[in-house]
Amino acid sequence: MKFSEEFEQRFAEMVRQYPTKRSALVPTLLYAQDEIGFLSDEVIAEIAVRLDLTELEVRNVISYYSMLTTQPRGKFNVQVCTNISCMVRGGEEILEHCSKNLGIGHKGTTPDGLFSLEEVECIGACSWAPAAQVNYDFHENLTPDKIDRVLEAYRKSGKQ
């Protein structure tokens, strides 16, 4: 398993900084996912060895965090929150609207590989509900029109 030089530098730095190797697990998974696109069996096995963990321990952590995935996703992963604050302010309508706009449902990926869609629990943006996260960017106080504009901007940037 070969990662980039940048990944190796970050990994070496994290292992130096954290008191135990295990503490570097989540950031290591995120960096690996950013680089490879998803956490394949090969990536999981490699990270488990590097951090002195079992593959099961690594998989248990992956299954806990919605931002980590063992399946390939679209270039832009649209995560719409429908938890309580977002729900009372129209989060479910935003999810439905995204589903119509993209033509895919929960955990679906568009045929061109550009978008994935996911319904998620609270993403910590309750004060600005309803909210969604696309990769690492937050979009808040959403309306159907606003999410259409957001998706269109990603669509354009993804085709460049």
Out of 61, 126, 135, 144, name the contact with ligand FES by CB under 6 A.
126
131 makes contact with ligand FES (CB under 6 A):
yes
- Residue 27: asked if its preceding bond is cis (omega within 30°), the reply is no
Of 70, 84, 13, give the one whose Cα is nearest residue 41. 70
Out of 85, 99, 110, 135, name the contact with ligand FES by CB under 6 A.
85
Q: How far is CA 30 from CA 6, 44, 54, 92, 126, in A?
A: 13, 12, 18, 28, 24
Q: How near is the Cβ of 86 to ligand FES at its closest, in Å? A: 3
Residue closer to ligand FES by CB (options 14, 122) is 122
80 makes contact with ligand FES (CB under 6 A):
no
123 makes contact with ligand FES (CB under 6 A):
yes
| Cβ neighbours of 93 (radius 10 Å) | 17
Q: Which residues bind ligand FES (CB under 6 A)?
A: 81, 83-86, 122-126, 129, 131
